[in-house]
Amino acid sequence: MKNFKIGILALAVLFSFVSCFEDLDDNLQPASTLDIQNFIYKAMNIWYLYKPDVPDLANDRFATQGELNTFLNTFSTPEDLFEGLVAQSIDRFSFMVSDYRELEAALAGISVSNGMEFGLVFYPNSQTNVFGYVRYIIPNSDAAAKGLQRGIIFNTINGAQITVDNFGLLNSLTSYDIGLATFDGVTITPTGETVTLNKTELLENPIHLASTLNINGQKIGYLMYNGFTSDFDTQLNNAFGQFKADAVSDLIIDLRYNGGGSVRTAIGMSSMITGQFTGQVFSTEVWNPEIQAIFEAEDPEQLINRFTNTISTGAAINSLNLNRVYILTSRRTASASELVINGLNPYIEVIQVGSTTTGKFQASTTFYDGSAPNFRRQDANPSHFYAIQPLIFTTANAIGTTGFVDGLPPTIELFEDYANLGVLGDVNEPLLDAALGAIFGRAPRNQHSVERKEVGNSKMKFPNYERMYVDFKEHKGL
């Protein structure tokens, strides 16, 4: 992957006097609000995907640095400024952090967690009371030690009914008690049992399950993959190596709780599923008009992502050369997960089982308060830890499909039944059973057609929640 840098002369037309901002002296004094806000404005003015939709980001909006400073001083915090520069009507996913170390940890799969991955759902016929259901348990966590399992229902926190007003405590508190309950599809019934859970720093391997099922003499691969975390690319490739060694005829990839992650890892997984399309267009990128014009003039290849035969480490990909794949989805399936589905669609048969996905087809990257125009981590101002993660481009597949704001609809629609979640990886688990039914030409044995509204989940406050990102070292143009 060659090193390509946007020409400074070309970029000069993008941010004119803004490019002359002075970086802070390396004196380790706390950065002022104005210093941080100047960085935010600079980076958004150059890279933000929806720059044309934000009048305050126009290149001629401010004639002098003084005018810009006056504008920036109308915002009391960097967070207020960033929110004011985001095109709110069309951008649901750009964000900023006050401590990029937490973001970097999350992108590597590290978080402060008790290991109970859960969803939160309204009670039937209520818009106030909420119950939680356990999706899965992260190994070697406090929740695992306490014996919690998928399918457990809970409805109180520290003795109080969980509601729309207090469910955030499940994400903000480092220790709490949950009250267990049962759910029969209609009624929540407390059991009287409580469990105390404590959070610690935890590393989650996104490969939750990888197994080969032998059904009627046919070998079928099943992979539950919960995040496109590039630090685990080798383990992902090894899982596909085992599928290849087992000579699987079909593959089921479970992305129902996968909120996304690395674009490069998504391309890698898609190349593992296939293998016969190396070098062909997997996806294309569209940036804001100014950056797009520079890429097109300098090297249009920078806008194309192609199927590959190596992972991020340089190791050869274990490819299955399949012409069909089954992907399990839900409303929590987002960004890089959707990129896999959309990118594969022009090439092979993608049978999507579950419910409609989130609808995120834009990618972001992390910008630090460093040297313009690229704002790299290595140049980050040591006087503060603010960073921004704005959307920078949209993705389209090889035939131009993009803009699916309402999500990608399933081939076989089936909603999770919180009264009968089943055991992940078991052939009777409803979504896996439906995929197996499609393989063997039979109807699903558990056809649940009721979609209950979820109000939150265990990862919703993570800084990388439902994100699709590129790293400077991953993208040829940055």
Confidence category of residue 102, pLDDT binned at 50, 70, 90: confident
**320 and 443 assigned to the same domain:** yes
Q: What is the CA radius of gyration of the chain?
A: 23
Q: Quick one: pLDDT at residue 242?
A: 98
Provide the pLDDT for residue 471: 67
Residue 99 lies in a domain: no
User: Residues 465, 375: one domain?
Assistant: yes
Rounded to the nearest integer, the mean pLDDT of the chain is: 91
The Cα-based distances of 338 to 47, 153, 273, 306, 410 in angstroms read 23, 29, 15, 16, 12
Is 75 a domain residue?
Answer: yes
In a domain, 101, yes or no: no
Going from the C-alpha of 353 to that of each of 148, 253, 297, the distances in angstroms are: 27, 10, 42
Q: Is the pLDDT of residue 1 over 90?
A: no
- For residue 103, being part of any structural domain is answered with no
Q: Are residues 42 and 14 in the same domain?
A: yes
CATH code, domain with 126: 2.30.42.10
∠ CA 343-346-352, rounded to 5°: 70
Q: Which of 332, 359, 377 is nearest to 471 (CA)?
A: 377
Residues 180 and 212 in one domain: no
CA distance 124 to 407: 25
Indicate whether 306 and 429 sit together in one domain.
yes
Q: Pick the more confident residue, 237 or 11.
A: 237
pLDDT at 453: 82
Question: Distance (Å, rounded) from C-alpha 265 to C-alpha 427?
Answer: 28
Residue ending a domain, choose from 150, 175, 203: 203
Query: Are residues 316 and 412 both part of a single domain?
Result: yes
State whether 222 and 287 are in the same domain. Answer: yes
The pLDDT confidence band at residue 4, using thresholds 50, 70 and 90, is very low
102 lies in some domain: no
Helix ranges, 73-168 (H): 78-85, 100-107, 142-145
Contact at 8 Å (CB) between 372 and 432?
A: no
Token pair recorded at residue 70: 């006056």
Q: What does each C-alpha distance from 169 to 195, 240, 337 come to in angstroms?
A: 15, 39, 28
* pLDDT tens column, 279-292: 999 999 999 999 99
In the chain, how many domains are there? 3
User: Percentage of the chain with pLDDT > 90?
Assistant: 81
Looking at 146, 176, 203, which one is the last position of a domain? 203
Does some domain include residue 29?
yes
**Cβ-Cβ contacts under 8 Å for 329 (sequence gap 6 or more):** 255, 256, 337, 341, 352, 353, 354, 355, 356, 357, 408, 410
Domain assignment of residue 48, given as a range: 8-89
- 123 Cβ neighbours under 8 A, 6+ residues apart: 129, 130, 131, 188
Same domain, 411 and 308: yes
Q: Give the end of a domain, one of 140, 173, 203.
A: 203
Q: What is the pLDDT of residues 363-417, one digit of tens each?
A: 999 999 988 888 988 888 899 999 999 999 999 999 999 999 999 999 999 999 9
Nearest to 268 by CA among 221, 199, 315: 315
- At residue 34, what are phi and psi to the nearest 5 degrees? -65, -40
Give first-to-last CA distance, the chain, whole Å: 12
According to the model, what pLDDT value does residue 467 have?
61
In this prediction, residue 477 has a pLDDT band, given cuts at 50, 70 and 90, of low
Q: What is the pLDDT of residue 8?
A: 41
Amino acid at 457: N
The residues near 34 (Cβ < 8 Å, ≥ 6 apart) are 69, 72, 73
353 falls within a domain: yes
326 and 441 part of one domain: yes
Query: How much is the pLDDT for 2?
Result: 32
Would the pLDDT of 52 be above 90? yes
Task: Answer yes or no: do 299 and 197 share one domain.
Answer: no
Peptide bond into 373 cis (omega under 30): yes
Same domain, 44 and 116: no
| Residue 27 in this model has a pLDDT that exceeds 70 | no
C-alpha–C-alpha distance, residues 394 and 405, integer Å: 12
pLDDT tens digits for 141-198? 999 999 999 999 999 999 999 999 999 999 999 999 999 999 999 999 999 999 999 9
97 part of a folded domain: no
Q: Are strands 218-225 and 250-254 parallel, antiparallel or unpaired?
A: parallel
Note the pLDDT of residue 301: 94
- The encoded tokens of residue 250 equal 């079909």
Confidence at residue 10, expressed as pLDDT on a 0 to 100 scale: 46
In the structure, what pLDDT confidence band is assigned to residue 475 with cuts at 50, 70 and 90?
low
The distance from CA 438 to its chain's CA centroid, rounded to whole angstroms, is 28
Quick check: helix, strand or coil at residue 146? coil
pTM higher than 0.75, yes or no? yes
Domain shared by 126 and 199, yes or no: yes
| Predicted pLDDT at 461 | 75
Task: Name the one residue in this structure whose structure tokens are 């594969």.
Answer: 344
